[in-house]
Amino acid sequence: MLIIGGGFAGLACARALRRAPVEVVLVDRRNHHLFQPLLYQVATAALSPSNIAAPIRRILRSQRNCTVVMGEAEQIDTDAKLVRGGGRELRYDYLVVACGMTHTYFGHDEWAQHAPGLKTIDDALDIRRRVLLAFEAAELEDDPADRAAALTFVVVGGGPTGVELAGALIEIAMQSIQRDFRRVDTRTARVVLIEGSGRVLQAFHPDLSEKAMQSLRQLGVEVILGRRVSTIDGNGVTVGEGDDAERIDSACVLWAAGLQPEPVADELERTAGVERDASGCITVGGDLAVPGHPEVFVVGDLMSYADPKTGEAVPGVAQGAIQSGRFVGRMIADEIAGRARDERPVFRYDDKGMMATIGRAHAVAQIGPLRFGGLAAWLLWSAVHIAFLVGFRNRFLALFEWAWLYTFWARGARLITGRRGGAASA
């Protein structure tokens, strides 16, 4: 039994097999499980990386039938039932692909060096470094135009990550650090959120999108809707094209505009002939297996599956990943116990709602027919995210840091690490 990926889906699948008479091997290129919904808080100095991550080996140390391998799946041979990577081969009877998504620049990969995305701890530390260095540069800048560019932060993409980043950045400038500088007033900082569609948080009900946009503007974020970025370079971005083009000079551009599957999806397409949807995700059947390969499953963000009850696609959120991983793990355990393969159940997604935070006491929540925002949504968002962090220590430290931030506006992880122009380090 081989699982590729130690995120929400992969861990849920492994844990569901803890009592099954099967040898589980979990492979991940990193040694830690990351709570991605709070990654933006590392990028904006509210939390430290260790608050939202935990070693996979520690999480699964009491599961005696599970072996953790730090490595990367480079090739999948579905005929021979083996995965190659790092000079080794791993054979499987069942394969669960749970490696998730990464960011995409829609054919403009050259933008990556100027506008980092946010999917890993390294990304978050790089963003944190860029943000804090921008304020340091503004402190020493005498030229008004260059100072304004240093204090201009552009976030491309109005989904949950983009909205959360923009809200946190304006709070940093207006409250958290404004008394720490002597030559520059950080409250003059400009935070611009650019969304190519007509509203932010498109996955939410339009009423909540409007609430989120009002909260952003109330905080001081400039929101540009219905326009796309045409160029990104080391000095800023251009929005629109031709006569409609608008230049925004910025020393710090952040990318939150799109996702694409990890390269493993290409391997499955090559070797198993899988079908993929418009976003590149792999289409699976009701048992979440790849058509024609009942021993190969795709779970989490990488799967493309419409719930038969609602007809709606399972969203790429933590709950979808956890539920799909747990479903496959339990189904495999049942088959090992003797249930026939043709008696497999159909996966049904239990939608527990969606939430996004915009800033201090500002959030939106959508739970079934209930839609609300403000302080109540923010408190619910905080409670849910604390509950889903791995380990008591992480929950306690995150809760303490949030209480400290709420009381004193102080962000305790404001360390500039890594070399200028190089990768950040913890």
∠ CA 224-106-212, nearest 5°, is 30
Among the listed residues 23, 74, 89, 164, the single catalytic one is 164
State both tokens at 295: 């021993």
Q: Which two tokens stand for residue 368?
A: 């079934």
> Residue 79: what are its φ and ψ, rounded to 5°?
-75, -45
Q: How many CB atoms lie within 10 A of CB 41?
A: 26
Cα–Cα distances (Å) from 381 to 203, 217, 356, in that order, read: 17, 21, 7
C-alpha–C-alpha distance, residues 66 and 342, integer Å: 27
Which amino acid is present at 323?
Q
Q: Are 77 and 84 in contact (CB under 8 A)?
A: yes
Is residue 35 within 8 Å of residue 391, measured between CB atoms?
A: no
Residue labelled with tokens 């996702």: 259
Pairing of strands 229-233, 236-239: antiparallel
Catalytic status, residue 23: no
At position 394, the amino acid (one-letter code) is: N
β strands within 138-226, DSSP E:
152-156, 190-195, 222-225
The alpha carbon of 5 is separated from its chain's Cα centroid by a whole number of angstroms, namely 14
Contacts of 155 (CB under 8 A, 6+ apart): 162, 165, 166, 169, 191, 192, 193, 194, 253, 254, 256
Question: How far is the first Cα of the chain from the last one, in angstroms, to the nearest whole number?
Answer: 33
Known catalytic residues?
164
